[in-house]
Amino acid sequence: MELYELTVGQAARLLRDREITSSDITRAVLERIEACDGRIGAYLAVTADLALAQAAAADQAIARGAAGPLTGVPIAVKDLICTAGVATTCGSRILEHFIPPYDATVIRRITDAGAVLVGKLNMDEFAMGSTCEHSAFQPTRNPWHLDLIPGGSSGGSAAAVSADMCLAALGSDTGGSIRQPAAHCGVVGLKPTYGRVSRYGLVAFASSLDQIGPLTKDVTDSALVLGAIAGHDPADSTSVPRDVPDYTTFLESGIKGMRLGLPREYYGLDGLDGEVAAAVRAAVAKLEEMGATTVEVSLPHTDYAVAAYYIIAPAEASSNLARYDGVKYGMRNPGKSLVEMYRRTRSAGFGAEVQRRILIGTYCLSAGYYDAYYRKASQVRTLIGRDFEEAFTRCDAIVAPVTPTAAFAIGEKVDDPLQMYLSDIFTLSANMAGIPGLSVPCGFTADGRPIGLQLLGRHFDEGTLLRLAYNFEQATDFHRRKPFL
Amino acid sequence: MPITRQDVIHVANLAHLELDSAAIDTHVTRLAEILEYVAKLNEVDTAGVEPTRHASDRTNAFREDVPRPGLAPAQALSNAPEREGQQFVVPKIIG
């Protein structure tokens, strides 16, 4: 086994036992990136010098007996999480040369836990997209099949983990941006409960929906990384002061007697691909075999979720992105007057999809349309939340597909935004309701494209999702298959 | 109500975006599709339903008002496209 193939849990054990050094793993990961990323394009920046310095420090800490849960583990982060002194572009021309003067709270937390930062990962610009094709800099290719999209917006994170170009990655999820690329690349992706992880230093897209979470090679790693990044942060007033459990303690309990909800509206969806449906149904059967029971539940407002989301998210984005004005940071395109400078800067700095969402959001918030669009969508959001509350009176977790289809070809939906939005149908409701969601590998299509199984839980019940996913993972070997590179 | 070129120009002005003629045409088409799709929300009876603005039950989050270190001026200015001393420089506003 090559060192870059290690999981976080395996690496931590070997490091603690002094069988390997962080410098060894870090060099192996950097060489792996060098060998593979030319074909995949997951990284926007590789921080080799920083990583080797952090690895040397980690090795000293381990020698002193001061190893934390992530000490010496090479991790990469989506390029919308601020890293002091390291460019944070958000996949956008407007932030191409932005060097944050501070670290995001999650960066401080993983660094305090001893992690080694190997680089910054590609994404759809401002996290707006499901394919990574909307990065201003480069597409990212799916390691399983280089003609396919890796998913998005955390496509670089999913591809890097899948191709063993880091041991784990951080992404962000506003409507599925962790879970969907995790499903398409055959890795584990977890969107925590809204408020579980600090958003301080996360470049804002839609503040009431955004949440940072881990993309990992297995479920144990998901529990380890979540434990390191979760918790209240005074710098993010929406983070919740609530104890962080040791998430690994949930894993070993079996799932006998757990009640799993199967939403009628999801399994009956017109656009649900046959192979995806079959893999998800086989996974449900496997979970039943292991002692879980299933019950049909209803999420009656499913058909309205995409519409409500594509008002609320662009509305919040149009407001959040008003800060890019060419004055304090980011790109400036000069103009004769202040307003001309604003316009020239924003028009040259934002890509087509970002401009489209700013326009939709501005329209929905503008005089005369606010009640019909934004207020209406926010009311429907309440109903979507109630649907989940009602469902969770009858089950402990919901089991569903992550995506209606497996990964599609690069270029296939790039000119059809509405089709791209509709593919978020199974994931974005969790953001609307603020509940946690996890994607775990559950199969492959006949032509070898990974398929993900989605688990949705009650607020702050990540433990149940990790427990279910871990038990499923132990009973299957999908997570052990690797793309051929 | 179909979206018009005038609507797109108006919204682009509000958002401080300048669009060329071809971009306006594309946006008219795409926005019309998207707005037509989201109009399905009108099928939902939301009478008496409170809107959800965020998905957490937190209301006000208070903390002690104690001074703590912030960014030094040089750090705060480090990404400014144009600066002079401790100030951001912008095009002349008053003629």
pLDDT in tens, A40-56: 999 999 999 999 999 99
Judge whether A129 and A111 are in contact, CB under 8 Å: no
Task: Say which of A328, A347, A433 has its CB closest to residue B18.
Answer: A347
Residues of A in contact with B44 (CB under 8 A): 301, 304, 376, 379-380, 383
Residue of A nearest to B38 (CA): A307
pLDDT per residue over A10-48, tens digit each? 999 999 999 999 999 999 999 999 999 999 999 999 999
State the pLDDT at residue A285. Answer: 98
Suggest the residue from B8, B9, B10, B17 to mutate for an interface test with chain A (most A CBs closer than 10 A): B17
Q: How far apart are CA A367 and CA A373, in angstroms?
A: 11
Token look-up 């409960």 returns A193
CB atoms within 10 A of CB A444: 17
Q: pLDDT tens across A391-402, in order?
A: 999 999 999 999
Q: Is A177 a catalytic residue?
A: yes
For residue B65, the chain A residue with the least C-alpha distance is A234
Torsion sign (Cα): A419, A421, A427, A429: negative
**Which CATH fold topology does A3-256+458-480 show?**
Amidase signature (AS) enzymes (3.90.1300)
Distance, in Å, from the CA atom of A417 to the CA atom of B36, rounded to the nearest integer, reads 13
Cβ separation A359–B33 shorter than 8 A: no
Q: Which of residues 16-45 of B touch A (CB under 8 A)?
A: 16-19, 23, 27, 30-31, 33-35, 37-44
Average pLDDT over residues A213-222: 98
Catalytic annotation on A78? yes
Is the CB of residue B88 less than 8 Å away from at least one CB of chain A?
Answer: yes
List A22, A153, A154, A439, catalytic entry: A153
Whats the size of chain B, residue-wise? 95
Q: Quick one: which of A147, A159, A227, A243 has its CA closest to A192?
A: A227
Q: Which candidate in A82, A89, A238, A347 is best for mutational testing of the B interface (most B CBs within 10 A)?
A: A347
Q: What is the mean pLDDT of residues A259-280?
A: 96
Determine contact, residues A295/A288, Cβ cutoff 8 Å.
no
pTM: 0.97
Q: Which amino acid is at A9?
A: G
Q: What band does A418 get if pLDDT is binned at 50, 70 and 90?
A: confident
A268 φψ region: left (φ > 0), alpha (ψ -120 to 50), beta (else): alpha
Cα–Cα–Cα angle for A172, A177, A180, nearest 5°?
A: 135
Burial A350-364 (b: 16+ CB within 10 A, else e): bbbbbbbbbbbbbbb
Three-state DSSP state, A482: coil
pLDDT for A123: 98
Whether residue A378 and residue B93 make contact (CB cut-off 8 A), yes or no, is: no
pLDDT above 90 (res A340): yes
Domain boundaries, chain B: 5-42
Question: Reduced to 3 DSSP states, what percent helix, strand and coil does chain A have, rounded to the nearest 5?
Answer: 45, 15, 45
> Cα separation of B47 and B25, whole Å?
36
Nearest by CB to residue A318, choosing from B15, B40, B42, is B15
Residue A161 has pLDDT above 70, yes or no: yes
Smallest CA-to-CA distance from A317 within A423, A202, A208, A235 is with A208
Q: Quote the minimal CA–CA distance from A180 to chain B in Å.
A: 21
In the numeric block, which tokens belong to residue A130? 């499901």
Q: Give the one of B37, B82, B93 whose C-beta lies nearest to A418's C-beta.
A: B37
Average pLDDT over residues A126-144: 97
Token reading at A102: 């501070």
Tokens encoding A422: 């509709």
CA dist A361 and A130 (Å) reads 18
Q: Are A128 and A170 in contact (CB under 8 A)?
A: no
Note the pLDDT tens digit of each residue in A274-323. 999 999 999 999 999 999 999 999 999 999 999 999 999 999 999 999 99
With a threshold of 0.90, tell me whether the complex ipTM lies above it: yes
Please check whether residue A472 is in contact with residue A397, taking contact to mean a CB–CB distance below 8 angstroms. no
Percent of chain A with pLDDT over 70: 100
In this complex, do A311 and B38 lie within 8 Å of one another by their Cβ atoms? yes
**pLDDT score of B2:** 80
Residue of A nearest to B30 (CA): A417
The pLDDT assigned to B1 comes to 62
Is domain B5-42 classified as CATH 1.10.10? no
State whether A433 and B55 contact (CB < 8 Å): yes
- Measure the CA–CA gap between B20 and A360, rounded to whole angstroms: 17
Q: Taking residues A445-469, report their average pLDDT.
A: 98
Answer for the pair B75, A101: CB distance below 8 angstroms, yes or no. Answer: yes
> Mean pLDDT, to the nearest integer, of A435-453?
98
Mean pLDDT by 10 residues, chain B (95 residues): 90 97 95 94 97 83 88 95 96 82
Inter-chain touch B78–A99, beta carbons under 8 Å: yes
For A85, A98, A281, A324, the CA distances from A328, given in Å and listed in that order, are 17, 11, 52, 8
Provide the pLDDT for residue A80: 98
Average pLDDT, chain A: 97
pLDDT at A207: 97
Active-site annotation holder among A22, A78, A154, A222: A78
Confidence band, pLDDT 50/70/90 cuts, at residue A420: confident
Mean pLDDT of A190-204: 98
